[in-house]
Amino acid sequence: MALSGIEIYKLLPQTNCKDCEFPTCLAFAMKLAAKQVELSACPHVSEESKARLAESAEPPVRLIEIKANGNSIQAGNEIALFRHEKTFYHKPGLFVRLRDDMESAALIGVVRAVDAYRVGYVGMDLTVDGFAVEACRGDKEAFAETVASVRQNTRRPLILMSRDAAMIAAGLRAIDGENPLLYAADETNWEAMTELAAEHKAPLAVVAPTLEGLADLTQKAKDKGVMDLVIDPAARDFSESLARATQIRRLAIKHNFRPLGFPLIAFPGECDDLVKEAMLAAQAIAKYAGFIVLDHFSAEAFYPLLALRENIYTDPQKPIQVQPGLYEFNNPTPESPVLVTTNFSITYFSVANEVESSGMPAWLVVADAEGMSVLTAWAAGKFDAERIAKDVKRFEVAGKVTRRRIVLPGQVAVLSGELEEELPDWEVKVGPREAVDLPAYMKQVLL
Amino acid sequence: MPIEIPKDKWPGKIRTVTLGATSEQGGSRGKTVTLGGASTLPFMNFEAPMPHPPQIAFELRDRRPDDWSAVVLDVWGGAADDPAVWARAAEEQGADLLQLSLSLTNAQGNPTTPQMAVAATRKVLESSSLPLMVYGPGQAEADNELLVAVAEATKGERLALGICEDKNYRTIVAAALANDHLVVARAPMDVNLSKQLNILITDMGLPPDRILMDPTCGALGYGIEYGYSVMERLRLAALQGDSMTQNPMTVSVGFESWKTKEAKVGADVPSAWGEWTERGIQWETLTAVTLLEAGADLVILRHPESLRRVRLAIQDLASIAQAA
Ligand code: B12
Ligand code: SF4
């Protein structure tokens, strides 16, 4: 957390020598707090003060990146406890765990399926971020081979899992030059693990069942020069995971407690009943995880989790919008109908997907409703007959069609009378309430 | 190094609201359900235990719904044809309470009459022992007409009558006042509007411990983030001591989740959506869990498997964490 001017002043020499070209150290401190000058303008700051000031400029939750030849995923750099306070910045990475005791064809099957998985959501292609590969057989060669074969089938970032540093070293050799996350250093193996992390410039996860244990480990790692850390509070149920994640986030953000200022890693698959896995992952998304490792991959669970992650990590200050304008579907002709909707992304894509999949040619006027849904915009006075008519003119729709038919969303049927007045030479129609029913409507009513 | 666990202390507290009345209390319910009472954020058991963990209701209709996802209708089967059978089945599936939604019309398209609404409510009350919430069809005039009749016919049952909105709360609140019922107050995702509606309702003389607050929710993928943040903000305001936001919150998770295309449509959807039934259940379950973390005290669901899963999450969340 940033220091105040007074706090900075206490770290300066307080001699008022004016070498910085400010009249007093206090004046300089105030400018520094306001980020209007650089610390280097004062030639007399002690090394110790420099370090304290540099640390205070760092984000309360450190940004961590897992890198794999060109592909990477970042977590951390968060500054809020609640998304409405500002926003949540770095979406937690979703990983699927693989074990080296899996039958090789099965393992490759999972890797390929997960790697290829992509699901469209409001115009974005959502994908899974990477894989965690765990050594279970106690055989270094086998682990290295598994890591190598995973790497042959995906370019996504990896997490290497074992408490045995020699095992992790074998895995690292199979993906030379990458910076995977090493999981994990604990009370007993931390020295060897820290050395490996330092040598390979790889981020390191530390695991301990108490906050003190975690802080001790991060401190020890930092003393050895490993700064890129991830923490696993070793809680696996809902209640304790939530408690620990909240405590750690609060300590980092409200108390500027550096030893716990790192992203969390969660393992929702390590629960007592597998039906809980997706729910625990959902909790981890909303409540502060930076990396989430699931044990089971299914489209039914990953699609909602990926969508939830988008939702929680959107900026609450600005709704996701599309550009207002006239959009074309399935090569419309001057005979094709004109549909109207708003420029809220979720609204636009619900409609666009249906129109497109209907195979029927159509024009779509996306009115400038300031990024709001149909009813929200209507209630806020941003989607009325006047606005629609204005956008129909602005996008020169009349010049594109000979048959002037315009279809309103069913939820704003009340606008049809006024729109008839605004657009006198148009036939105003009211469509279905839900976009799902558009294809049928277009086939029956709009021929 | 010893670390002091950061614990929040709040001046405010969520009110307790009790639904249903047993025969000793002037009703006919086998038990009552109490919501609220929390003195800290959801499931922060290391600060203060949650005296009344969140509860789960099933939504039923007075007749087989025309617009529900086939996944949900299939699992209830013939029970959905008769509110009495449906209510019994819902109780057997483990609901804490029931929420009956009245339809605007009967299957033939004729308007639901007050007599029909009362008959459906009676059937549910007779075949189940659970506390009950009754929602009108969602159109001001019909809501007033049907809910007043239901309220009078069930005096003393401490039903929760819904939905009171800013334009349409007076008649429903008056009916609740006169007949010992509660109300559900719904505002469109806005802290101040929720607060204002609670003020208007209490100004009519209804005690605040007879109001459930519905902040309006969106389903996962369809605006859940707005509801989530408004609920977090309402809960924070309540704990900070703002009296008119201190009511327990209820959310219609089943209604919102099962109207999404993901939950409603099985054919001609991308293969990346996965298998239909499981997808629908995940949609409802994950929406519920996310909103519980934001402060929901009551989630209203539609699918029995979702209830089973969400119950597991609540049981675990409400247990005392070892991390204390
Ligand atoms: C999320 C939300 C918000 C968000 C805004 C999100 C956004 N960017 O738009 C926030 C919290 C900001 C908000 C604010 C308000 N809201 Co609001 N909000 C909602 C909520 C929960 C969901 C809306 C949504 O995103 N739906 C999903 C999208 C995809 O739906 P859609 O745009 O309607 O599109 C569907 C259909 O219309 C159809 N469709 C769309 N286009 C077309 C085109 C054609 C041709 C066809 C055929 C079909 C079609 O397809 C889509 C999918 O089926 C609804 C209640 C609910 N659960 O529905 C209330 C709701 C819309 N809000 C409402 C209100 C009153 C407001 C406020 C005015 C409250 C206030 N006074 O502050 C404000 C207005 C904003 C402002 N003043 O700035 C009311 C509107 C009441 C009414 N009937 O008039 C609602 C219905 C809640 C309620 N029951 O009271 N809201
Ligand atoms: S140069 Fe440094 S010591 Fe001198 S006045 Fe400026 S801040 Fe103070």
Contact A118 B321 (CB under 8 A): no
Q: Which residues line ligand 2 (CB under 6 A)?
A: A 12-13, 15-20, 22, 25, 28, 42, 44
Out of B3, B228, B272, the one facing A299 most closely (by C-beta) is B272
pLDDT at B52: 97
A33–chain B Cβ distance below 8 A for any pair = no
Element (H, E) at A128: none
Cβ of A374 less than 6 Å from ligand 1: yes
Question: Given the structure tokens 């539609």, which residue do they identify?
Answer: B302
Out of A118, A287, A304, the one facing B286 most closely (by C-beta) is A304
pLDDT at B146: 98
B265–chain A Cβ distance below 8 A for any pair = yes
pLDDT string in tens for chain B (324-residue length): 789 999 999 999 999 999 999 999 999 999 999 999 999 999 999 999 899 999 999 999 999 999 999 999 999 999 999 999 999 999 999 999 999 999 999 999 999 999 999 999 999 999 999 999 999 999 999 999 999 999 999 999 999 999 999 999 999 999 999 999 999 999 999 999 999 999 999 999 999 999 999 999 999 999 999 999 999 999 999 999 999 999 999 999 999 999 999 999 999 899 999 999 999 999 999 999 999 999 999 999 999 999 999 999 999 999 875 444
pLDDT string in tens for chain A (447-residue length): 567 888 899 999 999 999 999 999 999 999 988 878 888 899 999 988 888 887 777 889 999 999 998 899 999 999 999 999 999 999 999 999 999 999 999 999 999 999 999 999 999 999 999 999 999 999 999 999 999 999 999 999 999 999 999 999 999 999 999 999 999 999 999 999 999 999 999 999 999 999 999 999 999 999 999 999 999 999 999 999 999 999 999 999 999 899 999 999 999 999 988 899 999 999 999 999 999 999 999 999 999 999 999 999 999 988 889 999 999 999 999 999 999 999 999 999 999 999 998 999 999 999 999 999 999 999 999 999 999 999 999 999 999 999 999 999 999 999 999 999 999 999 999 999 999 899 999 998 877
Annotate B5-17 with DSSP letters as a single string: ------S--PPEE
Cβ of A371 less than 6 Å from ligand 1: yes
> Domains of chain A by range and CATH?
5-57 (1.10.15.40), 64-312 (3.20.20.20), 325-445 (3.40.50.11600)
Burial class (CB in 10 A: 0-12, 13-18, 19+), A398: middle
CA distance A44 to A27: 15
Residue B93: count of CB within 10 angstroms of its CB: 16
Structure tokens at B287: 């929406």
Element (H, E) at A207: strand A204-207
CA distance A163 to A207: 10
Cβ of B225 less than 6 Å from ligand 1: no
* Closest C-alpha residue for ligand 1 atom 48: A409
Backbone angles phi, psi at A153, to 5 degrees: -110, 0
Distance from CA of B116 to the nearest CA of A (A): 27
Contact B45 A278 (CB under 8 A): no
Structure tokens at A104: 């090789």
Ligand nearest to the CA of A14: 2
Which tens digit of pLDDT belongs to each residue from B269-296? Answer: 999 999 999 999 999 999 999 999 999 9
Average pLDDT for chain B:
96
pLDDT at B238: 98
pLDDT at A2: 67
Dihedral angle over CA of A309, A411, A348, A282, nearest 10? 10
Question: Given the structure tokens 């007093």, which residue do they identify?
Answer: A24
Q: Which of A373, A382, A436 to mutate to test the pocket of ligand 1 (most atoms within 8 A of CB)?
A: A373
Task: Provide the chain B residues 226-245 that lie in CB contact (below 8 A) with chain A.
Answer: 228-229, 232-233, 236
pLDDT at A39: 87
Q: Which of A10, A16, A37, A40 to mutate to test the pocket of ligand 2 (most atoms within 8 A of CB)?
A: A16
- CB burial string B3-36: b at 16+ within 10 A, e below: beebeeebebbbbbbbbbbeeeeebebeebbbbb
Out of B265, B279, B317, the one facing A300 most closely (by C-beta) is B279
Dihedral angle over CA of B9, B12, B16, B17, nearest 10? -140
HSE at residue A408, side-chain half, CA atoms within 13 A, is 26
* DSSP annotation of A69: T
Distance from CA of A215 to the nearest CA of B (A): 8
The pairing of beta strand A264-266 with beta strand A289-294: parallel
Contact A276 B44 (CB under 8 A): no
> Domains of chain B by range and CATH?
17-317 (3.20.20.20)
Helix axes B170-178, B140-153, angle to 10 degrees: 0
Contact B43 A238 (CB under 8 A): yes
* DSSP annotation of A44: T
Structure tokens at B306: 């979702």
Contact B286 A278 (CB under 8 A): yes
Q: Among residues B57, B142, B68, B129, which one has the least CA distance to residue B100?
A: B57
Looking at this protein, which amino acid is placed at residue B7? K
Question: Given the structure tokens 């954020």, which residue do they identify?
Answer: B41
CA distance A216 to B92: 51
Please write down the long-range contacts of A29-32, taking CB distance under 8 Å and 24 or more positions apart: A29/A5, A30/A5, A32/A5, A32/A8
Q: Please tell me the distance between residue B169's alpha carbon and the centre of ligand 1 in angstroms.
A: 21
Whole-angstrom Cα Rg for chain B: 19
- The answer to whether the beta carbons of residues B136 and B102 sit under 8 Å apart is yes
Interface test with B, best of A81, A220, A242 (most B CBs within 10 A): A242
Annotate A310-376 with DSSP letters as a single string: HHHTS-TTS--B---EEEEESS--TTS-EEEEESBHHHHHHHHHHHHHHT--EEEEEE--TT--HHH
Task: Provide the chain B residues 179-208 that lie in CB contact (below 8 A) with chain A.
Answer: 188
CA distance B285 to A411: 27
Diameter over CA atoms, chain B: 73
Strands (E), chain B: 16-19, 33-36, 55-61, 97-101, 132-135, 160-164, 182-186, 211-214, 250-251, 298-301
pLDDT at A70: 87
Q: How many CB pairs under 8 A join A and B?
A: 167
pTM of the model: 0.92
Distance from CA of B140 to the nearest CA of A (A): 16
Label residue A191 left, alpha or beta by phi (over 0 means left) and psi (-120 to 50 means alpha). alpha
- The answer to whether the beta carbons of residues B72 and B258 sit under 8 Å apart is yes
Out of B228, B265, B317, the one facing A239 most closely (by C-beta) is B317
Q: Please tell me the distance between residue B281's alpha carbon and the centre of ligand 1 in angstroms.
A: 24
Task: Provide the chain A residues 158-187 that lie in CB contact (below 8 A) with chain B.
Answer: none
Q: What is the three-state SS of B118-167?
A: HHHHHHHHHHCCCCEEEECCCCHHHHHHHHHHHHHHCCCCCCEEEEEECC
Chain B residue whose CA is closest to A301: B282
B309–chain A Cβ distance below 8 A for any pair = yes
- The answer to whether the beta carbons of residues A407 and A430 sit under 8 Å apart is yes
Structure tokens at B225: 């983030």
Contact A243 B293 (CB under 8 A): no
Which residues in chain A are contacts of B317 at CB distance < 8 A?
238-239, 242
